[in-house]
């Protein structure tokens, strides 16, 4: 009887998977600080950049502006209440009244304005103020980015957390399918960036952001003497302006996807992670069940 009782006790005391939650320290103070400074800087750079764009609302290619055949232009047609916004892309016009070209002004009437007042800093037409805002936060962005690059190299954050392995690259199709189904990692997998996150961060942090910096320098006539080769690299000042605008647009798209994923993955947990550093991970842990009726 004692042997049977021992077997019964072993069975009833076996592990049963129970869902549990544990907090892990996911983001260091430096990463969190860099994230929020960068987010604020990029937002203000975008809004002030649209103010600057409104002064010449078109994109061309080459050294000088092609007023006759721009790649993209935002204009208005008509006057007063009948004013219409027209955005032309590669020669094809689109009616964008109310948003681009003609939007509601302070008096409630349509005004000739590429981007509306709610999308620019300052809201009124002021190219000089827009440039001041843009250059101020450009310096903050550059310094913050330089410190972050130094940190990723010193702490090995780049190699350890962001650089994809061969196995990561092989899992790209599966990761895409999981994202399409809005399926997010759980357990130990949730403690690491997935391959799409790694590639997106690498493209933005080490591709688009440096590209915006270099094209921004190329657009400034004051940089010609210091970096004369930039005009040759980017094919002219207007080409650099177009690349700058497209890079900014790509970052906006990344931002929108990023915000969507934050909500889809769990707003509270994701926000706690980037504010306090702690991220809740669901795991399965064995729960021991006490033996009953061990017998004699």
DSSP secondary structure letter of residue 91: T
Place of tokens 């980015």: 145
> pLDDT band at residue 19, thresholds of 50, 70 and 90?
low
DSSP secondary structure letter of residue 161: I
Enclosing domain of residue 229:
17-57+120-287
Q: Kindly state whether residues 53 and 71 are assigned to the same domain.
A: no
Whether 83 is in a domain gets the answer yes
CATH code: domain of residue 192: 1.20.950.20
CA angle (240, 246, 252) in 5-degree steps = 140
Here the tokens at position 230 are: 């930039």
- Of 114, 131, 149, which residue is a domain's last? 114
Contact 125, 54 (CB under 8 A): yes
Which helix (H) or strand (E) segment is 72 a member of?
strand 72-77
Whether 296 is in a domain gets the answer no
Q: Which pTM was predicted? A: 0.80
Q: How far, rounded to the nearest angstrom, does the alpha carbon of residue 64 sit from its chain's CA centroid?
A: 31
Q: What is the pLDDT of residues 25-72, one digit of tens each?
A: 888 898 899 899 999 999 999 999 999 999 999 999 987 777 778 999
What is the residue-wise DSSP string for 21-74?
Answer: EEEEE-S-HHHHHHHHHHHHHHHHHHHHHHHHHHTS-EE--SSS--SSS-SEEE
Here the tokens at position 24 are: 């892990």
Q: Kindly tell me the burial class for residue 1, based on how many C-beta atoms sit within 10 Å of its own C-beta (0-12, 13-18, 19 or more).
A: exposed
Which helix (H) or strand (E) segment is 280 a member of?
strand 278-287
CA angle (103, 107, 108) in 5-degree steps = 45
Q: How many domains does the chain have?
A: 2
Q: What is the pLDDT of residues 177-227, one digit of tens each?
A: 988 888 877 777 777 888 998 999 899 888 998 999 999 999 887 787 788
Q: Kindly state whether residues 95 and 231 are assigned to the same domain.
A: no
- Asked if the peptide bond before residue 173 counts as cis, ω within 30 degrees of 0, the response is no
Q: Kindly state whether residues 34 and 162 are assigned to the same domain.
A: yes
């Amino acid at each position: 009887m004692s042997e049977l009782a021992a077997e019964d006790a072993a069975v009833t005391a076996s592990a049963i998977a129970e869902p549990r939650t544990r907090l892990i320290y996911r983001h260091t103070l430096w990463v969190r600080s860099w994230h929020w400074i960068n987010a604020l800087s990029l937002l203000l750079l975008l809004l002030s950049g649209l103010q600057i764009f409104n002064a010449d609302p078109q994109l061309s290619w080459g050294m000088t502006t092609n007023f006759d055949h721009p790649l993209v232009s935002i204009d208005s047609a008509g006057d007063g209440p009948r004013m219409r916004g027209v955005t032309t892309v590669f020669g094809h016009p689109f009616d964008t009244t109310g948003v681009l070209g003609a939007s509601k002004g302070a008096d409630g009437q349509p005004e000739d304005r590429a981007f509306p007042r709610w999308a620019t800093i300052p809201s009124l037409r002021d190219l000089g103020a827009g440039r001041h805002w843009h250059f101020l936060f450009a310096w903050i962005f550059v310094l913050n980015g330089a410190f972050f690059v130094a940190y990723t190299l010193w702490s090995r954050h780049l190699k350890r957390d962001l650089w994809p392995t061969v196995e990561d690259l092989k899992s790209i199709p599966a990761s895409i399918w999981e994202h399409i189904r809005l399926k997010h990692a759980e357990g130990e997998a949730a403690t690491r960036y997935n391959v799409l996150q790694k590639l997106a961060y690498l493209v933005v942090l080490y591709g688009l952001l440096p590209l915006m910096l270099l094209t921004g320098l190329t657009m400034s006539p004051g940089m010609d003497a210091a970096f004369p080769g930039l005009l040759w690299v980017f094919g002219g000042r207007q080409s650099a302006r177009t690349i700058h605008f497209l890079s900014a647009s790509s970052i906006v798209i990344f931002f929108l996807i990023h915000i969507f994923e934050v909500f889809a993955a769990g707003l509270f947990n994701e926000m706690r992670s980037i504010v306090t550093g702690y991220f809740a991970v669901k795991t399965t842990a064995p729960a021991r069940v006490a033996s009953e009726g061990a017998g004699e």
